[in-house]
Amino acid sequence: MWQVNAQCARHPDPDMWFSPAGTIEHATAVRICRSCSVRRDCAHQGITEPYGIWGGFDQDTLDYLRGYRQPDIVTKQLVDAQLARV
Ligand code: SF4
């Protein structure tokens, strides 16, 4: 279970991962995600999640990734490509 190593699960303010884009809390959550050891697994999970930041991707970015396919291996490859960009 990758979730046991999630940095957000140990953070004193996990609600930051559900904060609106453009806020300090949102930017902080995304920054923390970038150094999280389970970011890849989390981003893959995020494809199927309707709320929150997953793997450092907010729902706008996840919507962009979802636009190609339903959750499947191809979408995960797109997520991996996006992870490599940011
Ligand atoms: S990548 Fe971000 S949202 Fe995902 S487990 Fe890590 S800290 Fe939490």
Instruction: List pLDDT tens digits, range 26-83.
Output: 999 999 999 999 999 999 999 999 999 999 999 999 988 887 655 566 678 888 888 9
Q: Please give the Cα distance from 66 to 52 (Å, whole number).
A: 15
pLDDT in tens, 5-40: 999 999 999 999 999 999 999 999 999 999 999 999
Residue with CA at minimum distance from ligand 1 atom 2? 33
| Radius of gyration of the chain from its Cα atoms, rounded to whole angstroms | 12
CA of 31 relative to ligand 1 center, distance in Å = 10
- The reported pTM is 0.85
CA of 68 relative to ligand 1 center, distance in Å = 23
Number of domains in the chain: 1
The predicted pLDDT at position 33 comes to 98
The predicted pLDDT at position 73 comes to 65
Q: Which domain holds residue 10?
A: 2-85
CB of 30 within 6 A of ligand 1: the answer is: no
Helix %, strand %, coil % of the chain (to 5): 60, 0, 35
The predicted pLDDT at position 50 comes to 93
Q: Please give the Cα distance from 77 to 86 (Å, whole number).
A: 15
